């Protein structure tokens, strides 16, 4: 029975997309890591609580298939602020978040980082 559970989770991991824009913050990559941890021995991994395992799988399938999004459709695809889903994805991309972190740094810290890190070309001159 553990083998069939393992294969179901593997199939779910294959179907679940990985968003490259959200490095190390993506649900698909997190799911793959957790499945690898939970099934260390592959199909031979003993499952202490099969009911909880099945319940977790069914919950993940509902998320993956947009069960609740389809069950409770929204009237508009925007938030109360008027931001669309695509705008949110763009804002939450890893490179944009890094740019925002750089903007939050104070002037003194930016100047110190700029002048303290020497480039290899400068050392040769």
What pLDDT score does 48 carry?
87
Contact (Cβ atoms closer than 8 angstroms) between residue 2 and residue 47: yes
Nearest to 84 by CA among 70, 95, 97, 74: 74
pLDDT interval class at 24 (50, 70, 90): confident
Same domain, 2 and 16: yes
The burial of 119, by beta-carbon neighbours within 10 Å (0-12 exposed, 13-18 middle, 19 or more buried), is given as exposed
Q: For residue range 46-64, what is the model confidence (pLDDT) as tens digits?
A: 888 999 999 999 999 999 9
Task: Please give the Cα distance from 38 to 36 (Å, whole number).
Answer: 6
What pTM did the predictor assign? 0.62
What is the residue range of 83's domain?
76-118
- Please tell me whether residues 66 and 93 are part of one structural domain: no
Specify the range with the lowest mean pLDDT, choosing from 9-18, 33-42, 90-99. Answer: 90-99
Same domain (yes/no): 56, 88: no
Enter the tokens of residue 3.
């083998």
CA gap 116, 59 in Å, rounded: 50
* pLDDT tens digits, one per residue of 68-79: 999 998 887 777
């Amino acid at each position: 029975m553990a083998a069939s559970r393992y294969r179901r989770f593997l199939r779910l991991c294959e179907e679940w997309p990985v968003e490259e824009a959200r490095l190390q913050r993506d649900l698909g990559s997190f799911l793959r890591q957790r499945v690898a941890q939970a099934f260390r021995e592959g199909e031979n991994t003993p499952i202490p609580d099969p009911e909880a395992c099945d319940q977790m799988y069914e919950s993940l399938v509902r998320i993956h298939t947009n069960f609740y999004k389809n069950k409770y459709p929204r009237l508009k695809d925007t938030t109360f602020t008027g931001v669309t889903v695509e705008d949110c994805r763009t804002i939450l991309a890893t490179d944009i978040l890094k740019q925002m972190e750089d903007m939050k740094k104070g002037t003194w810290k930016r100047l110190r980082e700029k002048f303290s890190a020497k480039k290899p070309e400068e050392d040769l001159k």
